[in-house]
Amino acid sequence: MDHSESDLYTIKTQFYTYQHQKVIDYDLEQFAPESQLSVSIFQIRSTITLGKDASKLIENGRAKFSSEDAGDAASALLAFECLQAWNDLKTFGTDDSTYFDDIITSSTPALSELQAIYTAVYLVKVNKDIDQAIQFLSSYIDAKASNSELEPLLVLVQLYLIKGNFSPALKIFKDFKQFPDSARDSIIYQVLESWVLSIKGESDNINNAYYFYDELLSSDFDDDAEGKFRLLNSLFVLTLQLKHYPEAQELLIQIKSSNHTSTSADFVANQITFDYLTNSGAKVEDFLQELTTLDEEHKLLIDLAEKNKLFDEIVEKYKVTG
């Protein structure tokens, strides 16, 4: 029996809330033909996100969907080409491929939502240029002016938040509220809302964001350790914002006892904050070394370096010479 449209909605929800193993585990053939391409793309993206080689899935997708109507086949092949480039980059590292660089230097915007998203991520992860990623995505969104392509907005807000530019992030969310009801029913809107509530501060806002992730955690994550790690980390941050330190400690124990294999630089940065708040920073030096190993250009390290430089300049300016 074919899965219904509601099941496709469920897959989207699982994808955008880190439940990637569940997305992968679906049987593609159980979905209605008109939904199978979307499901296939989500399964490939989830596979890559979990650090696995998706080449076989991409190959199968190309073979299966190349016989679609001309327009659909062209869109499918464009999607698989983009996913293959990203998969190769994640699996084998940088090589001679110029796929994303060609898109960046093109005089025309990205041809698809996927191209725009992964090119922006490429700019951040490979070129280490968040500002250019913001500019690239903004240009794509302005050119498309579409209420149906929501993920680029989500990525753009995330980039603004990483930069600490809250005003443009809040403006996007405000504009989002003017979208049709169907768009605001999307899980993307709900995730975006949770981020905005957390940066607005105040207990009610943070609590509402906390409840969103806590409800997601009630799903079965026994076979998805990485997804559970991401959600627990989100709850850990929100608990710190609420200054509920005993609960934060309990979450930290859960995170460390989970079976996740990846180590997030943001998680290490959050532990630095927690150690300062509850342990007088006794373990901060160890965490800083770990963070430097994971991401030497993490915003916390950059901010810390700038503060140390400013302090040194002040000391030099006012030092007493005998």
pTM value? 0.75
> Is residue 257 one of the residues assigned to a domain?
no
Tokens found for residue 92: 């084998």
- Determine the average pLDDT of the residues in 79-96: 85
Domain stop point among 45, 63, 97: 97
- Determine the average pLDDT of the residues in 124-145: 88
> Is residue 114 one of the residues assigned to a domain?
yes
Residue 190 CA to residue 233 CA, distance in Å, equals: 18
Which domain CATH number covers 130?
1.25.40
Tens of pLDDT, residue by residue over 249-277, are 888 888 887 766 666 888 888 888 888 88
Neighbouring residues of 167: CB distance < 8 A, sequence distance ≥ 6:
none
Strand partners, 31: 3
> Is residue 317 one of the residues assigned to a domain?
no
Task: Give, in degrees to the nearest 5, the angle at Cα 305 between 159 and 231.
Answer: 40
> Is residue 53 one of the residues assigned to a domain?
yes
Q: 119 is in which domain, residue-wise?
A: 107-200
- Determine the average pLDDT of the residues in 231-240: 83
83 and 113 inside one domain: no
Domain stop point among 200, 225, 250: 200
Number of domains composing the chain: 2
DSSP one-letter string for 27-64: -GGGB-HHHHHHHHHHHHHHHHHTT---HHHHHHHHHH
84 and 58 inside one domain: yes
Domain stop point among 200, 215, 240: 200
